């Protein structure tokens, strides 16, 4: 656990100083950037940091049955109803940037300081949320914490998800002290929430091009993940003639090229294979099997389905041509979501004339949107790059983001 000598004193209130406190946690020397998968030492250290920071602000920190953290600024009455929630996630993709997730958490803490400095006496509870496994980089399903909370994923399916080392989610959750019987939908907790606002680094160039620091979120592209497996004959790279091979790497490579071709034929489609796992994975070994993962997104869910169907057919054909076995399964699917119009309008009004930007990235706010009025704020990322060490936010923009969040929360809490 990461111990901070600031915890017992008045917490620093700038976003930059909060981000600075965690800048050393989970650095990935091989890939660059940060690797902070859920329940790794790095992610646990970040949870410890959040818990200390929240406690230093006199917030009551609780972990829900699915491993999300909730830090409550309660009313004097202690009644938890119609609460305003804000927050994001602390896990990362492999080799991710510093801001995707943590910016929303640090901004939430900074916003509490701003509201306290304004002497705000909230009329509704405020709660800071940290969701686990937002990226799905360990167990394969993005937004796992919010999907479990809302019942968007079947609990048995979730318990049986496996990480790359073969551990089930149930095993890892139990190892980290969760009561496996409590994992799953939590309508009582969800029912305490009246609004959710997630601040997030922008993951494209929209605000950079508009030369504006903060935007209100418009919609999230529908997206899903599929697992493909090609199997052939593992063999020796030196003794096996080319004509005698059944090489699943060739089938996978041809499929990846087809993915690009199929997605390019559809306006606004995005299809990616970013993870590929050859078994056993030796330079002088023809693989016996290759697992690879497909991510497809499009604003029209019917087009997403059609693109995936075309890819499925192409992969089947390629597998047959390469004399390989083929398996195809869906890991997750999220429809295109719009945010709550009324809440988004309030956010926009508190920001002046902020632009509204759609995003191709998934967020817990998109999962919660079906259950709690939800909205998002995006903070400018001048690189336009994300899920990469090159993701970036200027300190001044981060402070403007926290201020925008504080203004929005103040409007909702007053
Ligand atoms: C998560 O960031 C995603 O959009 O994949
Ligand atoms: Mn994120
Ligand atoms: Mn992300
Ligand atoms: Mn995301």
| For ligand 1, mutation pick of 142, 143, 295, 366 (most atoms within 8 Å of CB) | 142
Cβ of 252 less than 6 Å from ligand 1: no
* 363 is known to lie in a ligand binding site: no
Q: Measured in angstroms, how far is the CA atom of residue 287 from the centroid of ligand 2?
A: 34
pLDDT (mean) for 135-144: 98
Q: Measured in angstroms, how far is the CA atom of residue 240 from the centroid of ligand 2?
A: 46
Reported as a pLDDT band with limits 50, 70 and 90, residue 13 is confident
Region 15-221+336-413: CATH code: 3.40.630.10
pLDDT (mean) for 385-410: 97
What was the pLDDT predicted at 4? 43
- Predicted confidence (pLDDT) per residue in 202-235, tens digit: 999 999 999 999 999 999 999 999 999 999 999 9
Task: Write the secondary structure of the chain as one string of H (helix), E (strand) and C (coil).
Answer: CCCCCCCCCCCCCCHHHHHHHCCCCCECCCCCCECCCCCCHHHHHHHHHHHHHHHHCCCEEEECCCCCEEEEECCCCCCCCCEEEEEEECCCCCCECCCCCHHHHHHHHHHHHHHHHCCCCCCCCEEEEEECCCCCCCCCCCCHHHHHHHCCCCHHHHHCCECCCCCEHHHHHHHCCCCHHHCCCCHHHHHCEEEEEEEEECCCCHHHHHCCCEEEEEEECEEEEEEEEEECCCEECCCCCHHHCCCHHHHHHHHHHHHHHHHHCCCCCEEEEEEEEEECCCCCEECCEEEEEEEEEECCHHHHHHHHHHHHHHHHHHHHHCCCEEEEEEEEEECCEECCHHHHHHHHHHCCCCCEEEECCCCHHHHHCCCCCEEEEEECCCCCCCCCCCCCCCHHHHHHHHHHHHHHHHHHHC
Reported as a pLDDT band with limits 50, 70 and 90, residue 11 is low
Q: Measured in angstroms, how far is the CA atom of residue 322 from the centroid of ligand 2?
A: 38
Q: Does residue 403 surpass a pLDDT of 60?
A: yes
pLDDT (mean) for 357-368: 97
Mean pLDDT for the chain overall: 96
Reported as a pLDDT band with limits 50, 70 and 90, residue 353 is confident
| For ligand 1, mutation pick of 363, 364, 366, 385 (most atoms within 8 Å of CB) | 363
CATH 3.30.70.360 positions along the chain are 223-334
Cβ of 368 less than 6 Å from ligand 1: no
User: For the ranges 126-140, 180-194, 347-361, which has the lowest average pLDDT?
Assistant: 347-361
What was the pLDDT predicted at 161? 98
Percent of the chain at pLDDT exceeding 90: 96
Cβ of 136 less than 6 Å from ligand 1: no
Cβ of 142 less than 6 Å from ligand 1: yes
CATH 3.40.630.10 positions along the chain are 15-221+336-413
pLDDT (mean) for 24-29: 98
- Whether the bond between 280 and the residue before it is cis, its omega within 30 degrees of 0, is yes
Q: Does residue 5 surpass a pLDDT of 80?
A: no
- Predicted confidence (pLDDT) per residue in 245-299, tens digit: 999 999 999 999 999 999 999 999 999 999 999 999 999 999 999 999 999 999 9
pLDDT (mean) for 117-135: 97
Pick the CATH number of 223-334 from 3.20.190.10, 3.30.420.40, 3.30.70.360, 3.90.550.10: 3.30.70.360
């Amino acid at each position: 656990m990461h111990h901070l000598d600031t915890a017992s004193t008045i917490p620093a209130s700038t976003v930059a100083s909060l981000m600075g406190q965690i800048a050393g946690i989970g650095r990935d020397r091989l890939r660059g950037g940060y690797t902070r998968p859920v329940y790794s030492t790095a992610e646990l250290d970040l949870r410890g940091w959040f818990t200390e920071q929240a406690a230093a602000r006199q917030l009551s920190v609780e972990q829900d049955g699915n491993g999300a953290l909730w830090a409550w600024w309660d009313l004097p009455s202690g009644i938890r109803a119609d609460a305003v929630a804000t927050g994001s996630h602390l896990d990362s993709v492999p080799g991710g940037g510093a801001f995707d997730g943590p910016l929303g958490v640090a901004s939430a803490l900074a916003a509490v300081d701003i509201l306290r400095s304004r002497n705000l006496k909230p009329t509704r509870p405020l709660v800071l949320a940290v969701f686990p496994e937002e990226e799905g980089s360990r167990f394969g399903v993005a937004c796992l914490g919010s999907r479990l909370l809302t019942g968007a994923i079947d609990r048995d399916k979730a318990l049986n998800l496996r990480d790359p080392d073969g551990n089930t989610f149930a095993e890892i959750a139990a190892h980290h002290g969760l009561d496996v019987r409590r994992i799953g939908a939590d309508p009582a907790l969800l029912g305490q929430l009246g609004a959710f606002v997630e601040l997030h680094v922008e993951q494209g160039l929209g605000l950079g091009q508009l030369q504006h620091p903060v935007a209100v979120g418009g919609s999230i592209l529908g997206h899903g993940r599929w697992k493909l497996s090609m199997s052939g004959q593992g063999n020796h790279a030196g003794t096996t003639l080319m004509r005698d091979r059944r090489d699943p790497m060739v089938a996978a490579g041809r499929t990846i090229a087809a993915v690009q071709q199929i997605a390019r034929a559809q306006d606004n489609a995005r299809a990616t294979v970013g993870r590929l796992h050859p078994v056993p994975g030796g330079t002088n070994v023809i693989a016996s099997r290759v697992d690879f993962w497909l991510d497809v997104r499009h604003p029209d869910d019917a087009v997403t389905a059609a693109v995936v169907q075309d890819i499925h057919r192409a992969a089947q054909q390629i597998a047959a041509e390469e004399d390989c076995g083929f398996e195809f399964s869906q890991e997750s699917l999220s429809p295109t979501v719009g945010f709550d119009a009324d809440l988004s309008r309030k956010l926009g009004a508190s920001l002046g004339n902020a632009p509204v930007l759609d995003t191709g990235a998934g967020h817990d706010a998109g999962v919660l949107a079906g259950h709690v009025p939800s909205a998002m704020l995006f903070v400018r990322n001048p690189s336009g790059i994300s899920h990469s060490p090159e993701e970036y936010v200027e300190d001044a923009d981060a402070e403007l983001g926290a201020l925008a969040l504080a203004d929005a929360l103040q409007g909702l809490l007053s």
